[in-house]
Amino acid sequence: MEVFVQQLINGLTLGSIYGLIAIGYTMVFGIIGMVNFAHGDVFMVSAFIALIVFLILTSWLGVTSVALALLIVLVVSMLFTSIVGWTIERLAYRPLRGSFRLAPLISAIGMSIFLMNFVQVTQGPRNKPVPPMLSDIIVVMQEGSYQVTISYKQIIIIVVTTVLLTCFWYLVQKTPLGRAQRACEQDRKMAALLGVNVDRTISLTFVMGAALAAVAGTMFLMYYGVVSFADGFVPGVKAFTAAVLGGIGSLPGAVLGGLLIGLIETMWSAYFSVEYKDVAAFSILAIVLIFMPQGILGKPEVEKV
């Protein structure tokens, strides 16, 4: 029982990070119907931005409060990563809008490779560590010598994910920008005829997705304490898997899918084999999609005649 509770806490933490990345995939796909394969590498770039800003604050500027440093890192990382997301959309995707279907997909793969190689050249191929932060833990329960614990880092990750999901759900459902996004999702031409600035709406969607990836990157760096240029691929693929599992196009579905993938990974690692945790996650995705092709919270496509 104690092992199960501990893995439940670990799975929710890992799944929260996947969920934050998955929201970026599902927002872009929902509006322009394109899988942004560079999104995982945007997440990796944001982790490096967070690393650099954190080291500048603590080593050069002498900031001693970890909480203050993390807050500044989060804001700066979201700002710069949003600029990266806007630039990618402006240079790599917008010129290809209206082109044949595979062109944006190829451009996204090219942008992913470019970002990964750029970080490898500028930051080096080795893992980049940060000093441990927020190492304190809370003992939830104890049975014999085994303690079930939750760290402050895990609490921050789960709380931040919950707050951001609530804020973005409100933004999409209740604000003029959200209405414009939903209009573009249904019919971009009709939305343009009704006065919606489609280009601006799509750009803001990329900015929002990149900002959430920056939050995930900062949380990832805080949780694991290390990042490398290759860290965009596997988390990116798993976050995309989470978006598909939850129902791509659905914000709650993206977070639900992320939590499920995180839980499957940690439970499988604890009770079966660490080496096959990814196989287990993707196998369950395949099984779910056989019986629910639209995902858990996705809406089935209605073909108009």
CB contact at 8 A, 75 and 146: no
Which domains, and CATH codes, for the chain?
A: 1-288 (1.10.3470)
Sign of the C-alpha dihedral, residues 106, 112, 116, 121? positive
DSSP designation for 154: H
- What's the pLDDT tens digit per position in 242-279? 888 888 778 888 888 889 989 988 988 888 877 888 88
The pLDDT, as a whole number, for residue 96 is 85
Q: Is 70 exceeded by the pLDDT of residue 303?
A: no
- What residue type is 277 in one-letter code? K
pTM of the model: 0.89
CB contact at 8 A, 227 and 220: yes
Report the SS3 class of residue 264: helix
CB contact at 8 A, 43 and 106: no
- What's the pLDDT tens digit per position in 75-127? 999 999 999 999 999 998 888 887 887 888 889 899 999 999 999 999 888 88
Close Cβ partners of 298 (under 8 Å, ≥ 6 residues apart): 246, 247, 248, 249, 250, 253, 292
Task: Report the distance separating Cα 173 and Cα 176, nearest Å.
Answer: 9
CA-wise closest residue to 165 among 154, 157, 155, 177: 157
